[in-house]
């Protein structure tokens, strides 16, 4: 079972609002994914904090969404590519 608000299918919703990820930390089962939605009034992006080649979104303007499936167990820290102080964590196991 995952923390956070369920969206369609096997994706868990994360809202971006007020320069914060809501929720900032998630626990998922292998095969689930995250659907980020920019509900802020400025652009943001999603990028793996340590290994940007693992996942990276385009610039998310207000209302834009980005989905990424997690098919391997592990800990996946991420941040906003535009505002590096914005951080989140996806734990898959």
pLDDT at residue 6 is higher than 70:
no
Extract the tokens encoding 79.
């941040």
Closest CA to 54 of 38, 35, 77: 77
Range of the domain at 67: 5-92
Helices (runs of H) and strands (runs of E) counted in the chain = 0, 9
pLDDT digits (tens, 9 = 90+) for 58-79: 999 999 999 999 999 999 999 9
pTM score above 0.95: no
Q: Identify the CATH number of the domain in which residue 46 sits.
A: 2.60.40.420
Domain count, the chain: 1
Instruction: Give the pLDDT of residue 43.
Output: 98
> First-to-last CA distance in the chain?
11
33-38 vs 20-22, strand pairing mode = unpaired
Tokens at 90, concatenated: 């996806």
Q: Please give the structure tokens belonging to residue 65.
A: 């969404």
């Amino acid at each position: 079972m995952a923390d956070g608000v369920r969206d369609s299918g096997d994706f868990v919703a994360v809202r971006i609002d007020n320069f914060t990820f809501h929720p900032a930390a998630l626990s998922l089962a292998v095969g689930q994914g995250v659907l980020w939605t920019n509900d802020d009034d400025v652009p943001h992006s999603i990028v793996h904090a340590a290994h940007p080649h693992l996942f990276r979104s385009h610039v998310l303007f207000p209302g834009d969404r980005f989905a990424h499936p997690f098919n391997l167990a592990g800990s996946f820290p991420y941040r906003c590519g535009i505002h590096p102080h914005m951080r989140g964590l996806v734990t898959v196991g």
